[in-house]
């Protein structure tokens, strides 16, 4: 097995997908032809990272009691740190906004409250609007090149696609997910499955990615389903409705003033 370090600007695939929604893009490293762990990660980065993105998505939260909630939102993301997300439906949640200006710099704004609140500490681990995606999943942007070592564990066919299985091990103790296992499509270089583990080895979250489409010459998963093992009665699916890359985003969007009531 080959052990490699992650490159700057890279991140775990679900993180990248969430990054596409609310930020954290980076530049893509060059791709080589060798299917080493490093090469696989570079090819994944090439598909999953970007400078700016505008996304419209549907979030479907399914509960074990049969209840299903559907929310829609639009998000703008720029660079590694800046993102803005606004829910547009249902009507009672419309106007709920989230702004991130960097690691641990995240604010919520609810129209009925009329004032932004900064999310800190353990709150970052809570579910975004009651979903399985935590605020932390959205706002954290770990430099995985510094934080993780990666090894190839093997190959496997997943949903009819050949995949490489990578295992990531955190180098520092302060990571939300000290280890992860990724299934990477061996031809399209997008993650199809991701398992995130606690230090104890306990599985925390499982992400299943699908509906892989070509956008601007790259492959990108348009659907991700996240199961949170600690929130057993729910499962959340994100479906991209629109996904635009390298769009022009005014700086004004990423401000508290805009968060608290400015129109786009």
Residue 113 within binding range of another protein, rule CB under 8 A: yes
Residue 256 within binding range of another protein, rule CB under 8 A: no
CA angle, 199 then 205 then 207, to 5°: 135
Task: State which of positions 131-150 bind another protein (CB under 8 A).
Answer: none
Residue 67 within binding range of another protein, rule CB under 8 A: yes
Three-class SS state of 60: strand
| Contact yes or no for 167/179 (Cβ under 8 A) | yes
Q: Which residue of 30, 32, 70, 92 would you call a contact of another protein, by CB under 8 A?
A: 92
Residue 108 within binding range of another protein, rule CB under 8 A: yes
Closest CB 229 distance from another protein, rounded Å: 16
- Beta bridge partner(s), residue 199: none
Encoded tokens for 204: 């925390």
Q: Which residue of 64, 91, 112, 200 would you call a contact of another protein, by CB under 8 A?
A: 112
Phi, psi of 21 (to 5 degrees): -80, -45
Closest CB 135 distance from another protein, rounded Å: 11
Closest CB 201 distance from another protein, rounded Å: 26
d(C-alpha 36, C-alpha 19), whole Å: 25
Of 176, 100, 148, 138, the closest CA to residue 3 belongs to 148
Residue 230 within binding range of another protein, rule CB under 8 A: no
Return the number of the residue (78 or 131) whose C-beta is nearest another protein.
131
User: By CB under 8 A, how many residues form the interface with another protein?
Assistant: 21
Report which secondary-structure segment, H or E, holds 236: strand 234-245
Q: What is the CA radius of gyration of the chain?
A: 18
Task: State which of positions 46-65 bind another protein (CB under 8 A).
Answer: 61, 63, 65
d(C-alpha 146, C-alpha 144), whole Å: 5
Task: State which of positions 114-133 bind another protein (CB under 8 A).
Answer: 114-115, 117-118, 120, 123, 129-130
Return the number of the residue (90 or 262) whose C-beta is nearest another protein.
90
d(C-alpha 8, C-alpha 148), whole Å: 11
Q: Which residue of 8, 51, 56, 93 would you call a contact of another protein, by CB under 8 A?
A: 93
Closest CB 19 distance from another protein, rounded Å: 22
d(C-alpha 17, C-alpha 23), whole Å: 9
Q: Which residues bind another protein (CB under 8 A)?
A: 61, 63, 65, 67, 69, 71, 92-93, 96, 108, 110, 112-115, 117-118, 120, 123, 129-130
């Amino acid at each position: 097995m080959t052990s490699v370090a992650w490159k700057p600007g890279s991140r775990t695939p679900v993180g990248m997908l969430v990054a596409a929604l609310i930020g954290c893009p980076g530049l893509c490293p060059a791709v080589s032809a060798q299917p080493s762990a490093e090469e696989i990660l570079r090819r994944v980065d090439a598909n999953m990272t970007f400078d700016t993105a505008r996304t419209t998505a549907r979030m479907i939260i399914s509960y074990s009691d049969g209840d299903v909630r559907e929310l829609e939102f639009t998000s703008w993301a720029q660079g590694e740190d800046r993102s803005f997300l606004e829910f547009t439906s249902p009507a009672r949640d419309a106007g709920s906004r989230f702004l991130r200006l960097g690691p641990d710099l995240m604010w919520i704004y609810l129209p009925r409250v009329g004032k932004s609140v900064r999310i800190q500490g353990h709150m970052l681990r809570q579910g975004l609007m009651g979903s399985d995606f935590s605020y932390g999943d959205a706002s954290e942007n770990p430099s995985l090149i510094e934080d993780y070592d990666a090894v190839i564990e093997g190959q496997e066919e997943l949903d009819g696609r050949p995949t490489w299985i990578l295992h990531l091990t955190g180098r520092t103790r302060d990571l939300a997910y000290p280890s992860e296992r990724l299934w990477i499509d061996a031809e399209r270089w997008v993650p199809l499955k991701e398992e995130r583990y606690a230090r104890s080895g306990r599985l925390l979250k499982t992400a299943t990615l699908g509906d892989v489409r070509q956008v601007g010459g790259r492959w990108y998963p348009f659907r991700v389903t996240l199961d949170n093992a600690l929130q057993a009665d729910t499962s959340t699916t994100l479906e991209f409705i629109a996904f635009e890359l390298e769009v022009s985003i005014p700086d004004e969007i990423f401000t508290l003033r805009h968060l608290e009531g400015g129109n786009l």
